[in-house]
A and B are shown apart, each in its own frame.
Chain A
């Protein structure tokens, strides 16, 4: 039973309890697992060993699954995933297109094991890599393998992981620290959370290996307080690892000490920046500082500190177990391995996916994602959250890796991938992201503090229909300034959503300013509502519900909207009965 946040909020815990009660006397083992990734179809129930997946199950379906499938071996076709085109049920997990085209390595255990039971991780080969490192490998050999694997930082920036480890190993100090950056604050991404919730031990093992090979004896996992389930499971994992002697003094009966503490973030996006995160653990305001010195030389409390993302650490045990050659077979020339994306927005199959680097957007959105919602026209894909950019339809066939995204003006970022259709206004999206980064700017350096504010003012003017044609140039000049002069990654990447929409969707900016028109019909100041006299029956529903008294007309006669009073709240269009649909929304104002 999937018990990731998505399925839990859809009611999976009740279903789990019901299965447990009904199957308590049988040979079947009922267990909660981490996120399967296919949140769109949740709550998900999977039966093993036959690998059947039931989608959108409810508590009321439990009895039928038990009677039919478990007791008589007959699948409940009604609850199987259906092919969106042919409507044929697909019983096997592995044959569903959403899973078939993925390559799950970092997420290999998510959805298969009970994350609250260390022995299940061990049954899947867990904690073998750290034993190998302790017994057979020198720190130089471990760092050498990581370097050779070309693993790059999966937090988004793509810095070579092996190099980072080497810098920290070479730093001379009595005390070193290792930190896991789990401050996944980007709106629209949840892949770190899924690893933390679904396979916390793989992170612990990766951190142990990092600690042993760089000489750190104390580790911190910095995780968002907004992820209560992840925090709970991490604490359970750390406790179980301590009980087994995998954390604490003389780990795995060796002469090494290593322990991990879970630290809760307090809700500041900028703390995803490594120096800000370190200050936050020290109990200070989370403002970034100049680099160098890099944390690998001087980090937490002035000691050399190794800091990597959740997915980066979770990749390490795999590389040690399977070898660097296995890892480098996947991916592109400069970006090896896999990337994890949260696929959301106007796409048929939302969820968490893991794909080899170098896959195209088309394969992700139209292959795994099953195309856009209701077959609407694809407009753009936003990759990398507030630091990333919006890519248009003609870039669907570009292979995605760290470098190609950077060239396109976006970035891997945290791996959020939001699909947008014709109903999304690109100026509004740029404004949305900038509003977010502006709010989260820590205010320490002026290009970011003042520049993002000025940019936001211009964007607000544009969506409110108050901007002048020369504002586009000013906006792009400001964006370049903020990008090049800001102190940390937040400011340096904050203009990306604006710059990419200016680059690929400039016509929409021009339409907003010159024609006072929002083609996606999102920007309230640039749309108008009208009542179609041929359809209106004079039922007075809109008249009664309009908060501004902007509708006139008598009962049983055609109504009309007084444009000067209308605030475009849209209540009339919602209240108009669907079979009449007399209220229509137009792009542009008269």
Chain B
């Protein structure tokens, strides 16, 4: 609760601030908890249903905590043409998690994204903030061994 108040204190409380408020909460807490969304609704003086309606519309927002390591597979056109699907299947196979899932040990989260814009490095993935490019199944399994 203390955390939430700190986060909200940098905003004015206008309804137009909803998206930046949700972004900041997610940045700090890692996801949007029910408690956080209720608190945001109260703070911005808008219905709770609207907060959830907006949060569920945008793909950036998530309602469950993520693992300590976030693995993102780029599914942009260039990566698709160069075999992103196989890369994702390989990660799923090695870590035992499907798209959008977090491993039970809370260590890994796997996610596919539309494009991270490193098309010249296709196919590529990001692990946390690091981009790994020009991959094949072999390279992916080597990289996964290191985290």
User: Which residues from chain A sit less than 8 Å from chain B, CB to CB?
Assistant: 5-6, 8-10, 39-40, 42, 184-190, 193, 225-228, 263-269, 280-287, 342, 344-346, 350-351, 382, 385, 416, 418, 420, 424, 429, 432-433, 436, 442, 569-570, 574
CB neighbours of A264 from chain B (8 A): 19-20, 23
* Cα distance, A286 to B114, chains bound together (Å): 18
* Cα distance, A382 to B76, chains bound together (Å): 13
Evaluate contact between A344 and B23: CB separation under 8 angstroms.
Answer: no
* Cα distance, A228 to B72, chains bound together (Å): 15
Instruction: Kindly identify which residue among B15, B17, B54 contacts A285, using a CB–CB cutoff of 8 Å.
Output: B54
CB distance from A434 to the nearest CB of B (A): 13
- Closest B residue to A286 by beta carbon equals B57
* Cα distance, A265 to B19, chains bound together (Å): 8
- Closest A residue to B54 by beta carbon equals A285
Evaluate contact between B113 and A188: CB separation under 8 angstroms.
Answer: no
CB neighbours of A287 from chain B (8 A): 57
CB distance from B52 to the nearest CB of A (A): 11
* Cα distance, A5 to B23, chains bound together (Å): 22
Evaluate contact between B19 and A268: CB separation under 8 angstroms.
Answer: no
* Cα distance, A286 to B82, chains bound together (Å): 32
CB distance from B77 to the nearest CB of A (A): 3
Q: Does B37 contact A (CB under 8 A)?
A: no
User: Which residues from chain B sit less than 8 Å from chain A, CB to CB?
Assistant: 15-20, 22-23, 53-54, 57-61, 75-78, 80-82, 86, 89, 113-122, 124, 129-133, 137-138
CB distance from A122 to the nearest CB of B (A): 28
Evaluate contact between B58 and A188: CB separation under 8 angstroms.
Answer: no
Evaluate contact between B81 and A350: CB separation under 8 angstroms.
Answer: no
- Scoring B53, B114, B138 by chain A CB atoms within 10 A of each residue's CB, the highest score goes to B114
Evaluate contact between B78 and A344: CB separation under 8 angstroms.
Answer: yes
CB distance from B110 to the nearest CB of A (A): 17
Q: Please give 12 more A-B residue pairs, beta carbons under 8 A apart, in addition to A225-B23, A282-B16, A350-B119.
A: A190-B115, A190-B117, A190-B119, A193-B117, A266-B61, A269-B114, A280-B19, A283-B16, A285-B54, A346-B82, A350-B120, A418-B81
* Cα distance, A6 to B121, chains bound together (Å): 7
CB neighbours of B132 from chain A (8 A): 9
Evaluate contact between B58 and A385: CB separation under 8 angstroms.
Answer: no
CB neighbours of A225 from chain B (8 A): 23, 60
Evaluate contact between A9 and B130: CB separation under 8 angstroms.
Answer: yes
CB neighbours of A420 from chain B (8 A): 81
CB within 8 Å for A344 and B16 given contacts A5-B118, A227-B117, A283-B54: no
Evaluate contact between B78 and A266: CB separation under 8 angstroms.
Answer: no
- Closest B residue to A436 by beta carbon equals B114
- Closest A residue to B46 by beta carbon equals A283
- Closest B residue to A424 by beta carbon equals B81
CB neighbours of A187 from chain B (8 A): 75-78, 80, 114-115
* Cα distance, A190 to B77, chains bound together (Å): 12
Evaluate contact between A10 and B61: CB separation under 8 angstroms.
Answer: no
- Scoring B23, B77, B113, B129 by chain A CB atoms within 10 A of each residue's CB, the highest score goes to B77
CB distance from A518 to the nearest CB of B (A): 14
Evaluate contact between B114 and A185: CB separation under 8 angstroms.
Answer: yes
